[in-house]
Structures are given as C-alpha cells and as structure tokens.
Structure 1
C-alpha cells in the first residue's frame, strides 16, 4: 500500500494509564494518566496555534482526551479505523510480552490487516483534508514508518511529540521532521 502524498502532522497520544503501568493497551480503552493530561496540556502552545483543517483521533479516549487538552478550541473527528492494533489475548499483559510485529497475537489482529486498515483510513482522511492533525497511537506511527521506510521497527515516538510529514522528492518521498508550530 502507498500513502497519499499530502502533508499532515502526526502525534501519538499522551501517557495513558496502561502506558504508566507498562501494559499492552491496543484496543483497550485506557484513559490518560495525570501525567498524560499534563503532557497534552504542555503540547497546546505548539499544537493549538494553528487552525487545523481537521483534528483527527481514533475512537479511543486516550487520543480524544489528548486532543481536548492539546487543541481545546478545535472540533475532534474520531475514526474507528485509527484505533491501535488489536493485541487479542495480550491486551492488559505486561509490555515485555508484546510479540514481534510480524507475529499475529492469539485472537488478535495480523500486522497486514492492521496496516491495511490504517493506511486506507489515512488515505481517506488525506483525500478530504489539507494539513490535518492526526492524534493516534504508536502502532499507527509504526505503520507509517513501514510504508515509508520499509520497516515497522523504528525509535519509539514520544507522547504528544508532533511530527510533520510532508511529501518530497527525497528517496522515500517524504520529509519527516519534528513539528515546530508552523505549517509551510
């Protein structure tokens, strides 16, 4: 699959209660921790200065709560298909039990199914909006890395660390940089 060549900013949600407890979250709808609320509020000076064409989240509360605190003046558009990967029987287990991405967890979602649903949804969003802010999950970021760079294995994205994705003539077709509060 390929990703539609239109610019957007991606941010992972703030710390959830499952993140704080080092548990596999996936489809589990864990809310933000107190630290997560602070992280989202601290991102507001960078993220809320722009009138985004859309603020997109998954339907999980950790992404929606992040958006409510980071871009409080803008409407949120949730997409069910942007939820984190379904880790099946591993949901709620210690993070050390997480499997390699290529392995389908028991009663969970395969990497291919996850990637297909995420890229299809991102392409729909990008066809409808110019410069959206997408607040989702680390798995969604790994899907982006896989489609652009050929591997889901990449440094973990920090909580509410906005990244700019801009189409380019580079080898991978994208310029990916930390977002500094301006769109060009």
Structure 2
C-alpha cells in the first residue's frame, strides 16, 4: 500500500540538551532541554504553525515532548513509543572519542552495541513506524524525535537502507521533510533550521 504522493512527513529533532551539546550518546537517559534548547524549540513554532498537520507524534522522552509543546503542537500530539532514540547499551552517556580510546574505529553505524540496539534493529523499528503511518492515511505528519533515529528513519524512507543515515547530519531543533516525487519516496528537505 502506498501513501498518496502529496504526503509529507516532517521529522523534527528535539532542542539542545547538555548531552547533545557535549556529544554524549543519549538514548535511554531522559535529559531535559537546556535554556538554549527551549529557545530553539520556540523558534520552530512559526514554521510549524504554517502547516496543517493531521497527525502529530512524539517520542516518549521529555526532551522531545517539551520541544513539541514549545513548538506549539503539544496539545495535538500523541506519544509514539517507536520514536524513541537508539538504545546505545553500554555506550549510553559516552562520547565517540571516549569510546574510541578503548575501541579504535568504533562507530554507532558499524560497531556492535552490547546491551543495546543494532543498526538493523533501528532500521526495522523505523520501517515498522513507516508501515504504521501508511496505514493511518494521514497526509501531513509531524514526528518529534531524536538525531540518530530520525536519520535512520529518513534513510529507511528514501532507500530502505538504514546505513544511509550515517550521511545525514541533523542539528538540534532541525526539521527535515520526507515525501514523494511522483511515485518515488524522497528526502525533500533536510536539516533545516528555523
């Protein structure tokens, strides 16, 4: 089943947290937004107010829920558990340079994630959510989530290959838009800041 070619899925990353600022992997830890992150989230409001969303979903993490609320869509949102960030397992709270002191060439995209989720796991979760969204028949959807999950979601949408997400950088409080060009799924816009 295909969505109508006019569909748009807006991926919105939460605003800045202390750990996003420091580069610490933040999957299962519920870190709040910083003051700067709240300012970023409020800056999304005028852009998102110009859209007519028929479905607004947010990660269960407070940083995503608060970003959604400050962006003006909180009252219309529903929590979607599949939008949670990658579970980094034993690497939760650590930076890539720190991890590489023990495991040279470590990458979230290619390395094992003991006690966490693999790239294949995230790709399957993203595809399951895509399938769920297709079933809703909504045409303008806002998803408030996290950097790595959103990057995999965008890659999965466009190519079915979650590894493409490694090449899709995403800033805090950035917006990306997925859709169709004719019958082909595309990334229409990526990493836009208000």
Q: Could you tell me the TM-score, scaled by structure 2's length?
A: 0.80
Structure 1 moving runs of 4+ over 4 Å: 2-5
Q: Following the alignment from structure 2 to structure 1, what is the Cα–Cα distance between the partners of residues 3 and 33?
A: 31
> Are 2:140 and 1:135 aligned?
no
Structure 1: segments with no counterpart, 5+ residues: none
- 1:84-117 deviation digits (Å, cap 9, x = unpaired): 1100011011243362413221211111111101
Q: What is the match of residue 110 of structure 1?
A: 118
**TM-score, normalised on structure 1?**
0.84
The aligned residue for residue 103 of structure 2 is none
- Name the CA distance, whole Å, in 2 between partners of 1:175 and 1:83: 21
CA drift of 1:4 comes to 5.7
Number of positions where the alignment pairs a residue of Structure 1 with one of Structure 2: 178
Per-residue CA deviation, residues 110-141 of structure 1 (Å, 9 max, x unaligned), is 11111101220232124212211111111122
Consecutive unaligned residues of structure 2, counting only runs of 5 or more, are: 100-105
- 1:112 and 1:3 map into 2 onto residues whose CA distance is 23
Which residue does 1:57 correspond to in 2? Answer: 58
Contact map agreement 1:99 1:105 (CA 8 A) in 2: no
Q: Secondary structure at the match of 1:23?
A: coil
Looking at structure 1, the residues matched to 2 and 117 of structure 2 have their Cα atoms a distance apart, in angstroms, of: 21
CA RMSD for the aligned pairs?
A: 2.5
